[in-house]
């Protein structure tokens, strides 16, 4: 299903004169990671595979690579994110081989319901086909906007679960190409415009607005549950791309100014069982925004995002998704780069 270019990686490593590497992989690319390690060893590079779970480019194992005496880190499955890294890192996004145009063709009548001017977005997996998708839609009479996105994403039109900057245009609605609810429901929550997700594998199209409304209602319920809380644990992450210490400190300050007890907690893998035993009535996660939104059912205490704390304290009226934003991008960049050295 996915393409990982072992030869290209080997060439990069040779250019870098790397003799030992750590390979980091998401769940879905474990086999590819193992084949890559075998291939690299056959070609004279000592390869170690990281067994830790990885969910995003926000969590590179560069510190671990350094500790293991590796000259480089190969981070599979995600595109480059601007971070301060301790060893040279090759980000290898895995491009899906599925053709996206047949699913667009099949759902063209549904896509028309978005309006004539649409924002087109996808994940790194399908970004190499965004140009084809745009051309197809334009041939069918649409005006297609591909937002530049900010520095947290690698390409125009790319979205992450925590960053929808590329979906923010003055279009009538947003067309997302990709599988699953994770990204498109985030778009609908963050952009607040009609959002249609077209799945290139199944060929289905699903409107995300109702699901987003349902999730926002659940978030209001979490805020209501935290109304009587007096003691807050404010959690910041030690993962490089989720570390939002200044924001976490701001939330601690805000809570204290409003008469609450607040204590800063640093965690790597943020999960409720690890917090059992502390005396807090509620938590605020100032890290990956998807932890409180997608995992709250596993928490026995209310768990909020920073924006939700502002609502709780009466500082904000309207619901807003807690995005992690980068800096504004100044120039358009080409689509479909295979490898990124960090």
Options 32-40, 53-61, 90-98, 266-274: segment touching ligand SF4 (CB under 6 A): 53-61
Question: Per rule CB under 6 A, is residue 167 in the interface with ligand SF4?
Answer: no
Closer CB to ligand SF4, 39 or 181, in the complex: 181
Which of 166, 198, 265, 288 contacts ligand SF4 by CB under 6 A? 288
For residues 23, 29, 30, 33, the Cα torsion angle rounded to the nearest 10 degrees is -40
- The CA distance from 138 to 115, in Å, is 13
CB of 290 to ligand SF4, least distance (A): 5
- The CA distance from 226 to 222, in Å, is 6
CB of 182 to ligand SF4, least distance (A): 8
Which runs of consecutive H residues, i.e. helices, occur in the chain?
A: 6-16, 30-42, 62-67, 101-106, 108-112, 130-139, 182-191, 209-225, 245-257, 290-295, 306-312
Closer CB to ligand SF4, 12 or 290, in the complex: 290
**Stretch 234-253 residues interacting with ligand SF4 (CB under 6 A):** 241-242
> Quick one: which H or E segment has residue 21?
strand 20-24
Instruction: Kindly tell me the burial class for residue 161, based on how many C-beta atoms sit within 10 Å of its own C-beta (0-12, 13-18, 19 or more).
Output: buried
Counting Cα atoms < 13 Å in the Cβ hemisphere of 278 gives 19
Which of 290, 307, 329, 340 contacts ligand SF4 by CB under 6 A? 290
Question: Per rule CB under 6 A, is residue 124 in the interface with ligand SF4?
Answer: no
Which of 76, 94, 159, 162 contacts ligand SF4 by CB under 6 A? 162
Closer CB to ligand SF4, 107 or 195, in the complex: 195
Question: Per rule CB under 6 A, is residue 61 in the interface with ligand SF4?
Answer: no
Residue pair 275/300 in contact (Cβ under 8 Å)? The answer is no
Closer CB to ligand SF4, 111 or 159, in the complex: 159
For 112, residues 6+ apart whose C-beta sits below 8 A from its C-beta are: none
**Residue closest to 78 by CA, chosen among 287, 301, 253, 339:** 339
Question: Per rule CB under 6 A, is residue 185 in the interface with ligand SF4?
Answer: no
**Residue closest to 113 by CA, chosen among 9, 193, 230, 59:** 193
Q: Tell me how crowded residue 310 is: count the other CB atoms within 10 A of its CB.
A: 17
Q: Count of residues binding ligand SF4 (CB under 6 A)? A: 11
Question: Per rule CB under 6 A, is residue 183 in the interface with ligand SF4?
Answer: no
Closer CB to ligand SF4, 194 or 241, in the complex: 241
Question: Per rule CB under 6 A, is residue 58 in the interface with ligand SF4?
Answer: yes
The site for ligand SF4 (CB under 6 A) is made up of: 55-56, 58, 160-162, 241-242, 288, 290, 324
């Amino acid at each position: 299903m996915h393409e990982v270019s072992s030869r290209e990686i080997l060439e990069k490593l040779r250019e870098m004169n790397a003799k030992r590497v750590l390979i980091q992989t998401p769940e879905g690319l474990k086999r590819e990671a193992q084949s890559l390690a075998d291939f690299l060893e056959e070609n004279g590079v000592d390869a170690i595979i990281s067994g830790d779970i990885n969910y995003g480019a926000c969590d590179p194992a560069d510190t671990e690579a350094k500790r293991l005496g590796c000259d480089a880190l190969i981070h599979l499955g995600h595109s480059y994110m601007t971070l301060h890294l301790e060893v040279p890192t090759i980000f290898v996004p895995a491009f899906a081989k599925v053709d996206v145009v047949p699913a667009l063709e099949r759902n063209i009548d549904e896509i028309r319901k978005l309006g004539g001017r649409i924002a087109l977005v996808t994940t790194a997996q399908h970004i190499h086909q965004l140009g084809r998708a745009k051309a197809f839609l334009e041939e069918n009479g649409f005006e297609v906007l591909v937002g530049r996105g900010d520095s947290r994403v690698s390409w125009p039109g790319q979205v992450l679960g925590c960053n929808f900057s590329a979906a923010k245009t003055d279009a009538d609605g947003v067309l997302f190409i990709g599988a699953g609810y994770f990204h498109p429901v985030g778009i609908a929550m963050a952009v607040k415009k009609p959002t249609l997700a077209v799945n290139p594998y199944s060929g289905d199209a699903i409107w995300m607005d109702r699901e987003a409304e349902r999730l926002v209602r659940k978030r209001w319920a979490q805020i209501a549950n935290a109304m009587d809380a007096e003691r807050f644990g404010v959690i910041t992450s030690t993962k490089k791309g989720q570390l939002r210490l200044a924001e976490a400190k701001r939330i601690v300050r805000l809570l204290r100014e409003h008469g609450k007890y607040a204590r800063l907690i640093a965690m790597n893998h943020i999960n409720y069982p690890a917090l059992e035993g502390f005396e807090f009535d509620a938590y605020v996660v100032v890290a990956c925004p998807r932890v409180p939104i997608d995992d709250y059912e596993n928490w026995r205490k209310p768990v909020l995002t920073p924006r939700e704390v502002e609502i709780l304290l009466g500082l904000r009226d309207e619901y807003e998704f807690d995005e992690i934003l980068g800096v504004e991008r100044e120039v358009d960049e080409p689509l479909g780069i295979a490898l990124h050295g960090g």
